[in-house]
Amino acid sequence: MKNEKRGIPNKYLGNYRKHLFITIFIYLSFLFLTFFLISKINFDFSKSKKRMKNNQIKYKEKSKEISYKKKVIITPIKPATVQNKIKTILDGDFTINLGNNIKIKMILIPPSTLRKKYKSVILPFHISKFEITQEIWTKVMRYNNSIFFGKKRPINNITYEEVQDFIKKISKLSKKQLRLPLKDEWEFACRAGSKTIYYWGNFVEENFENYCWYSGNASQKPHVGPQPVGTKKPNNWKLYDMSGNVSEMVETDYNQLYICGGSWISNHQECSSSSSQKITPKLKKSHIGFRLAY
């Protein structure tokens, strides 16, 4: 007898339902497997894409690092060990003699703490009494590219690379590991125990004439440009031209380069004890010079 509704014999109806169920199960299994494979492929692709992106970032960072290494890397020589610092204190002030009466007087700066937005511990160190002059530079380097000439004027129009070359040569000559001052060391030496805006006090215009070459007295005749070192009054630790004349290169513990103290083109504010400006190692100007530290 036939099933009138389906047109399927009763004896085949059970098998038909069984086969239909199996077909649906296989179809659903196929869909589930397809969905699972697609999800896994997408996950692997996302993971691979993320890994590729991370590799690209690492490659860029590495490339940037390599590229940076090809440029000038500021590597300040940090203050020496405790044993060396004890020796530094025992040495006291000392003089580097380059012959022909050309000398660099190094002044011992006592240890202390410089309090700013952060606390900086200053270990004892030496700093040159005067800015490095063209006479000293020419003696060591055998050339002088300063814009304003004069053997007692501070060297100017030099890059950080040239300064590092000078330091290597004079360190070999003097048998001492000389360097640029660190930024906090320089400010501490500039203040010389003072807590005022300038190492001679707070703003009084007459004091600028006594202590500092700046735009008010060194930008027109008869005084134009950086002037012979030591012609103004020193600070309390007998350091000359810490404010004005030429801005002085200093380093930081974070491989950064600054100039401090203002110069002959600076206004009053730029000549304060805390004044500083970040620069690039390639910069060379007629108002930028340096002094040594040890």
Which pLDDT tens digit goes with each residue over 111-138? 877 666 666 778 889 999 999 999 999 9
pLDDT, averaged across the chain: 81
Residue 183: its pLDDT value, please? Answer: 94
Same domain, yes or no, for 12 and 117? no
291 and 185 in contact (C-beta within 8 Å)? no
pLDDT at position 192 over 60: yes
Total domain count, the chain: 2
Could you tell me which residue, 51 or 285, shows the higher pLDDT?
285
Band (219; pLDDT cuts 50, 70, 90): confident
Residues of the chain with pLDDT > 70, as a percent, come to: 69
CA distance 84 to 124: 10
Domain range enclosing 27: 1-70
pLDDT in tens, 7-58: 555 555 556 666 666 777 776 776 766 666 666 555 555 555 555 555 555 4
pLDDT at position 198 over 70: yes
Task: Evaluate whether residue 77 is within a structural domain.
Answer: no
Same domain, yes or no, for 60 and 90? no
97 and 139 in contact (C-beta within 8 Å)? no
Residue 159: its pLDDT value, please? Answer: 97
Residue 204: its pLDDT value, please? Answer: 74
Residue 74: its pLDDT value, please? Answer: 45
pLDDT at position 169 over 80: yes
Interval 140-162 mean pLDDT: 96
Same domain, yes or no, for 154 and 270? yes
Same domain, yes or no, for 121 and 250? yes
pLDDT in tens, 74-84: 444 444 455 55
CA distance 262 to 293: 19
Task: Evaluate whether residue 294 is within a structural domain.
Answer: no
Same domain, yes or no, for 4 and 148? no
pLDDT at position 70 over 50: no
Same domain, yes or no, for 160 and 240? yes
Residue 109: its pLDDT value, please? Answer: 93
Same domain, yes or no, for 3 and 103? no
Residue 12: its pLDDT value, please? Answer: 53
